[in-house]
Amino acid sequence: MEIVISNDPFNRAAALSLRQAVFVTERGIPREVEFDDRDTPERLYVVLYQDARHPVATLRLEPQTPTEMCFGRVCTRQDLRGQGLGRQLMTAAEDWSRHHGYQSGLIHGEVTAQKFYERCGYTVSDGPYDEDGAPVVVLHKTF
């Protein structure tokens, strides 16, 4: 396993490909909603690779303030869920964020993933409410 945090074209392509498979194909979210104006060439993506050719989990780093990082568009390939890969991804993203001066994490997570985020140490602070057709809660964690 390898985790890459970058905006290099290969890493961006891997992240977007995973999101297409999970959110658009599997979950039915319209592609116009899934891929938004925050998917810029400068955006950093955290991607967990099974090996150099197989990305298996990803998230998007979205700074909110100088001390708060939002982890967005978190997903793991469907056939590999439940194996701890999402937790590895979250830990790497939190470690990177802490190393770069961020003190807390923010997630707008679907209610179906709430227990996963709570196991990662996040606490619900708001919601649920509708976001893009899905019930979402806001979760926070201090690093």
Please report the pLDDT score of residue 133 as a whole number: 77
CATH (domain of 63): 3.40.630.30
Q: Which domain holds residue 95?
A: 2-104
61 within some domain: yes
Q: Does residue 55 belong to any structural domain of this protein?
A: yes
E runs forming strands in the chain: 2-6, 45-51, 54-63, 68-76, 104-110, 123-131, 134-142
What phi and psi values does residue 41 have, to the nearest 5 degrees?
Answer: -60, -25
In-domain check, residue 21: yes
Give one word for 42, left, alpha or beta, with left for phi > 0 and alpha for psi -120 to 50. alpha
In-domain check, residue 27: yes
What pLDDT is attached to residue 132? 75
For each of the chain's 143 residues, which pLDDT tens digit applies?
Answer: 999 999 999 999 999 999 999 999 998 889 999 999 999 999 999 999 999 899 999 999 999 999 999 999 999 999 999 999 999 999 999 999 999 999 999 999 999 999 999 999 999 999 999 987 789 999 999 99
- Asked, for residue 113, whether it belongs to a domain, the answer is no
Token pair listed for 40: 């810029």
pLDDT of residue 42: 96
Considering the domain boundaries, does residue 117 fall inside one?
no
pLDDT in the model for residue 115: 96
pLDDT of residue 105: 98
Domain total for the chain? Answer: 1
